[in-house]
A and B are shown apart, each in its own frame.
Chain A
Amino acid sequence: MSAAAGHTPSPSSGPATGATPDTAPGATPDTAPGPAADTGPTLAHHLATAEVLVCCGSGGVGKTTSAAALGLEACRLGRRAVVVTIDPAKRLADALGVPGGLGNDPVQLQVPGDGQLWAPMLDTATTFDGLVRANAADAEQAERILANGFYRNVAGSLSGTQEYMAAERLHALHNDPRFDLVIVDTPPTRNALDFLDAPGTIAKFIDHPLFKLLMMPTRRGMKVLNLAAQPLLRTIGRVVGGDVLADAVAFFQAFAGMETGFRRRADEVTALLSSDVTRFVLVASPRADTIEEACYFASRLAASRLEVGAVVVNRCTPTFGPPPARRPRAAARAALYDNLLELRTNAGVEREQAAALLQATGVPAGTHTTWVPTLPGDVHTLDALATIRGLLFD
């Protein structure tokens, strides 16, 4: 996807110049009164006290946008924050004013505040390669794995790997003395839960019976010699065609000895995710499917006794104050009146339905919810991000 961002002319490339539709007057509409009392800790409280903030939610709801806006607020508060983003369109990098986009190493961004804001872009394959190098007994073992076809499939395309690497990256950045807050923008997944299950991804392979079968203690230096003789492998080969498993077998063999390191690391990542310095920010839109996903996620967090931080319902229909007492007679003004009323009605219905959905499932009663209206334009300039920050915190 990233290559495409380059060839599509986009008004957002480069630094923001002057007024854009994103920040047109009226971009900060009033918000309708919420039906539920949010007694829990606010987003601002979490931002001030957490060491790790994870933004999760369905595709397109505004995770990347929220993560960036949280970063702006953190910097304003004087924290040394790093936002790990997974934004395939690179629009965020544009908005944050990073020429040439973000790389795997964090760069410091020029944003207002006493603190610092840093941002790397998550590069799944590079992160995974680094993990292999760190755990390999020697360079030779690392190279054998990195060159293996099965490994490349795992690192490049296996569902769950991107989530796992995001978790791995957050762990590394949490231990990095340059930062005191790590904000994570999770990948667009069909299922937000993949992120929680992420550290299990590699365990799934190293606990695999095939791995155990191949790693059966044999005489020193001698692994399973006659692979073709394994009836299981023979049958699979016959069914799926050719020797598709040859690379897998080679991978499992090359991996021998590294599983302890990998498993320990996965355990550390899980421990960090479940410690109380980590808070989850559930991002949704007022649409039912995104709220249901957030609720399901919340119930999973609760089941694992994890901290459900706060909820952000983004892209709500904005309201703009009460309509005049009566509908104007003149056609032109009547059209304006009708429009105001239509938006107000839509916003009310949407808000009521969304709040009912939030209460009906999963999300613990009293969890603080912030309602963010849709802006007139896309959020891909620093100004527009600052507006979102204001809507979240001011």
Chain B
Amino acid sequence: MLVVELDGKPTLGRLLPGVAVQQLSASAALAEYLDTHGLSRVTRRLASRGIIDVVATASPGIDDIVVLGKIKQLERSGLYDLVVVDGPAAGHAITFLLAAKSLLSSVRGGPIHTQATDVAEMLADPTRCQVVLVTLPEATPVNEAVETAYALEERVGVHLAPVVVNAVDSGPGLPADEAPEGSPMRLAAEFRNARRAVHETECIRLGDELALPQLVLPIVAGSQLTAESIDALADEWAPR
């Protein structure tokens, strides 16, 4: 299998020793695309001075489509059973995945049109591609996940896999009133109960508003995830 990271600082390599990780950046992909399509002389002269930006701005989504095109190429290469893409944040995810459809209606013919057709095909086929939404058990992220889910289904037409709720603190209610009011044990229990109640309420609300199975990951204490904590999280989902 292959893991693809989009833009940003590379972090997954450190967390996934032994797993193939590839970086894809929109601007690099677009530069490469223009290069292989006969703009090499021009881009060499102008790339550093922003011709890429002008093209990307003149035709919104074109940088997204070349990235999606690369992902499709990896999927079609036959080298991997599974390609996992660490996608953009909720707000940008819709525009990102919508790029194929938007470009199909605005650009007629040419290599970009072909590219967009292929990508749209991949996105629409649930045996080839599914989207895993990831959210947190808090009000704003849950609202965003619900909106994103509807937008993806209605506007992009992509199949939604189970939704992941990350960093959930779950556990039985603590008998806070066993300790005297205002005591450290009492306050700590009240705090924990309140946080767990928020998490539970939000998971239930997510289930009510979004008819998708949920996969829950427990919260990991500390500042930093390590390869070991990722392994432990993966075990949560391992068939028992």
Could you tell me which A residues sit within 8 Å of B by CB distance?
A: 1, 4-5, 8, 10, 12, 21, 24-26, 29, 59-60, 88-89, 91, 150, 153-154, 157-158, 188, 190, 204-205, 208-210, 232, 235-236, 238-242, 244-245, 247-248, 286-289, 291, 317-318, 320-324, 330, 332-333, 335-337, 339-340, 343-346, 349-350, 353-354, 357, 374, 376-378, 380
A289 to B222 CA separation, bound complex (whole angstroms)? 12
Rounded to whole Å, the gap between the CB of A276 and the closest CB of chain B is 31
Say whether, besides A248-B54, A335-B174, A239 and B60 are in contact (CB < 8 Å): no
Question: Looking across the interface, which residue of chain B has its beta carbon closest to that of A286?
Answer: B223
Rounded to whole Å, the gap between the CB of B190 and the closest CB of chain A is 5
Q: Are A241 and B110 in contact (CB under 8 A)?
A: yes
B 129-143 to A, binary, CB cutoff 8 A, 1 in contact else 0: 000000000111101
Q: Are B7 and A336 in contact (CB under 8 A)?
A: no
Chain B residues with CB below 8 A from A336, complex form: 174-176, 178-179, 185-186, 188-189
Question: Looking across the interface, which residue of chain B has its beta carbon closest to that of A161?
Answer: B57
A14 to B112 CA separation, bound complex (whole angstroms)? 48
Q: Are A244 and B89 in contact (CB under 8 A)?
A: no
Q: Are B143 and A4 in contact (CB under 8 A)?
A: yes
Q: Are A1 and B57 in contact (CB under 8 A)?
A: no
Could you tell me which B residues sit within 8 Å of A by CB distance?
A: 7-8, 11, 34, 37-39, 42, 46, 49-51, 53-55, 57-60, 62, 89, 91, 95, 106-113, 138-141, 143-144, 146-147, 174-176, 178-179, 182-192, 194-195, 197-198, 209, 221-224
Q: Are B34 and A157 in contact (CB under 8 A)?
A: no
Chain A residues with CB below 8 A from B178, complex form: 330, 332-333, 336
Question: Looking across the interface, which residue of chain B has its beta carbon closest to that of A355?
Answer: B223
Which single member of A10, A232, A343 contacts B191 (CB below 8 Å)? A343
Q: Are B8 and A29 in contact (CB under 8 A)?
A: no
A1 to B146 CA separation, bound complex (whole angstroms)? 11
Q: Are A248 and B194 in contact (CB under 8 A)?
A: no
Q: Are A244 and B186 in contact (CB under 8 A)?
A: no
Say whether, besides A59-B89, A333-B179, A239 and B192 are in contact (CB < 8 Å): no
Which single member of B39, B179, B185 contacts A239 (CB below 8 Å)? B39
Q: A239-B39, A354-B223 are in contact. List 18 more A-B contacts (CB 8 A).
A: A26-B186, A59-B89, A89-B143, A91-B140, A190-B89, A205-B54, A210-B51, A210-B54, A236-B55, A239-B111, A240-B34, A245-B55, A291-B223, A320-B187, A320-B188, A321-B187, A332-B178, A335-B174
A140 to B144 CA separation, bound complex (whole angstroms)? 40
A8 to B194 CA separation, bound complex (whole angstroms)? 22
A374 to B176 CA separation, bound complex (whole angstroms)? 19
Question: Looking across the interface, which residue of chain A has its beta carbon closest to that of B33?
Answer: A239
Say whether, besides A241-B107, A247-B58, A340-B184, A378 and B223 are in contact (CB < 8 Å): no
Q: Are A190 and B224 in contact (CB under 8 A)?
A: no
Q: Are A244 and B58 in contact (CB under 8 A)?
A: yes
Q: Are A339 and B89 in contact (CB under 8 A)?
A: no
Chain B residues with CB below 8 A from A236, complex form: 34, 39, 42, 51, 55
Question: Looking across the interface, which residue of chain A has its beta carbon closest to that of B138?
Answer: A378
| Interchain residue pairs A-B with the least CB separation, the first 6 | A241-B110, A376-B194, A321-B184, A353-B223, A26-B187, A340-B188
Q: Are B57 and A154 in contact (CB under 8 A)?
A: yes
A-B contact pairs, 11 of them (CB 8 A): A12-B139, A158-B57, A190-B89, A241-B110, A244-B55, A245-B58, A336-B178, A336-B179, A337-B185, A340-B188, A343-B188
A195 to B186 CA separation, bound complex (whole angstroms)? 44
Rounded to whole Å, the gap between the CB of B120 and the closest CB of chain A is 15
Q: Are A242 and B108 in contact (CB under 8 A)?
A: yes
Question: Looking across the interface, which residue of chain B has its beta carbon closest to that of A87?
Answer: B140
Q: Are A374 and B38 in contact (CB under 8 A)?
A: no
Question: Looking across the interface, which residue of chain B has its beta carbon closest to that of A204?
Answer: B50
Q: Are A353 and B224 in contact (CB under 8 A)?
A: yes
Q: Are B46 and A209 in contact (CB under 8 A)?
A: yes
Chain A residues with CB below 8 A from B38, complex form: 235, 238-239
Q: Are B110 and A209 in contact (CB under 8 A)?
A: no
A241 to B95 CA separation, bound complex (whole angstroms)? 20
Q: Are A353 and B194 in contact (CB under 8 A)?
A: no
Q: Are B37 and A239 in contact (CB under 8 A)?
A: yes
Rounded to whole Å, the gap between the CB of B138 and the closest CB of chain A is 7
Q: Are B7 and A26 in contact (CB under 8 A)?
A: no
Say whether, besides A322-B184, A335-B175, A336-B188, A209 and B49 are in contact (CB < 8 Å): yes
